[in-house]
Structure 1
Amino acid sequence: MTEQGFATDTVRQVSCEKCPLRLLPTFRAFENDELAFVSSFKRGELSVDKGATLLSEGSNSAHLYTVLAGWGFRYKLLEDGRRQILNYVLPGDMIGLQGSLMGEMQHSVEALSPMLLCMFERDRLMELYRGYPGLAYDITWIASREERMLDENLLSVGRRSALERAAYLLAFIASRAQKVGMDGTGKVEIPITQQHVADTLGLSLVHTNKTIRKLIDRKLVQWRDGGCKVLDIKGLMALANWSGLDEGVRPLL
């Protein structure tokens, strides 16, 4: 069976009961009946390669997804091909909810690295709302969190200087990655290019390169072919005048 043109695993490799993300203190625990429903709600797993388009703007999908492993990003394109990256997706984030509630996707999602996604049947979403108010609240919280992040990103693009924008973006991504255990070496390594940064911040590639060079000179980040290694999250936060994430324990579907 295929979804969005990629092979899917019909036999799940990771059970909901033994999900490694549930071991992290950042995610709330399920009630027993919630766990049983989510386990039956899960259709299987989808593995995708780096650079694959998971969902396309204007498309419909029979499934919702939760990122189990890997990195991705949401974006929109203008007719002439110019791209605006809206946000980044990390383990624990949900993909495709917008298409479920609005009929079709209003943005696209691409994999920044190989990814593993949990697939859920979209047609059973109303069953979740009817029978599991705690899970329904979780989905509302997830949507509100996405709105909050977009608010902060819009503030950054609209009012921060180029240097502050870059510092905020890298601190924001690295802070989220830390929360979900993606700093195994002690430092967060983000698999993005300077073009990704430019398309997120609304800057030219030349301006982005000069701005990142300033962050490198301040020893806040290192840049290599594989992406960005964040050396000093607190230093980036201070430079961006950003107080950091404050969301406590969050839902995981």
Structure 2
Amino acid sequence: MDTQIVRCRECPLQGCDTFRPLSEDKLEYLESFKQGEAVFRKGEMIMSQGGKAPHLHTVLSGMLIRYRSLDDGRRQIVNFMFPGDLLGLQGAFDDDLSHSVEALIDARLCVFPRNDFHRLMGAHPRLGYDLVWLAAKEETALEGHLVSVGQRTARERVTYLAVWLLDRALATGVADDSNRLELPITQAQIADMLGLSLVHTNRTLKSLREEGLVDWAPGNLSVPDMDKACKFAQYTQIDSKRPFI
């Protein structure tokens, strides 16, 4: 646990246009509820499938991947997590975790006690509502990814994932408005997310690069024309403010 914590009143997400700022009473309560912060380096495991989540976390900075593994080692990346996202809610209801969470890049997480989750809900019902809203928005994102795997072509899948990642990164301050994102994601991880073979993923990325839709080079994602790519992938960009705790 990192003792050099960011006070809730000084949280950088407070100044991000994507998020609704918290009122003074909520900030005061969260200061008392927050236990500290945890720092994870790229590749470190944060939560393990089949285990328990001793804490709730919100992402303060960095990016994470959430994935589910099969017994033979194959895995399916089910989502990417950005600043403001919530981890461990499933564990708040005493279920074993059905997924693992890993740091895609260096990340800092706020830490909240799982066992006192009910106290937060009772003391601040609006914060409880915001937590449910965050869970519902993640379900919406998962629906989009499921449609990609089930119905979109390989080129549409890769383009959808690219514009979704860039849109989330722009909305949370991880990327600037140059439509570029420094992202150490491998072709194998893209394949894991989209249910494609590595060979098919490689060919698809080459095709999209030649067409000028998506340029996904090692360590860097670029979408030259966001509107064109969104239209091709049938993706609607983020236009609503998100709560965060």
TM-score (norm 2): 0.95
Q: What's 1:223 paired with?
A: 216
Q: 1:152 aligns with which of 127, 134, 144?
A: 144
1:237 aligns with 2:221: no
Secondary structure of the structure 2 residue equivalent to 1:118: strand
Task: Structure 1: give runs of 5+ residues left out of the alignment.
Answer: 1-7
**Aligned-partner Cα distance in 2 for 1:57–1:77:** 8
Q: What's 1:42 paired with?
A: 34
Q: What's 2:202 paired with?
A: 209
CA deviations 1:125-182 (Å, max 9, x no partner) are 1111111011010011011111111111111110111110111011111111110112
1:169 aligns with 2:171: no
Conserved 8 A contact 1:182-1:188 = no
Offset, 1:198 = 0.3
Q: 1:99 aligns with which of 82, 91, 96?
A: 91
- Cα distance 1:225–1:152, how it changes in 2: closer, same or farther (>3 A)? closer
Offset, 1:31 = 2.1
> Which segment is superposed worse, 202-211 or 191-200?
191-200
Q: What's 1:22 paired with?
A: 14
1:131 aligns with 2:123: yes
Offset, 1:197 = 0.8
TM-score (norm 1): 0.92
Conserved 8 A contact 2:170-2:177 = no
**Aligned-partner Cα distance in 2 for 1:146–1:185:** 24
Q: What's 1:4 paired with?
A: none
Q: 2:3 aligns with which of 6, 10, 13?
A: 10
Secondary structure of the structure 1 residue equivalent to 2:35: strand
Aligned length: 244
State the one-letter code of the partner of 2:24: N
State the one-letter code of the partner of 1:234: D
Task: Extract structure 1 runs of 4+ deviating beyond 3 A.
Answer: none
CA RMSD in angstroms, aligned pairs only: 1.4
Secondary structure of the structure 2 residue equivalent to 1:251: coil
Q: 1:72 aligns with which of 51, 54, 64?
A: 64
Offset, 1:105 = 1.2
Identity of aligned residues (%): 43
Secondary structure of the structure 2 residue equivalent to 1:123: coil
Q: What's 1:188 paired with?
A: 180
**Aligned-partner Cα distance in 2 for 1:19–1:198:** 35
> Which segment is superposed worse, 217-226 or 156-165?
217-226
Q: What's 1:56 paired with?
A: 48
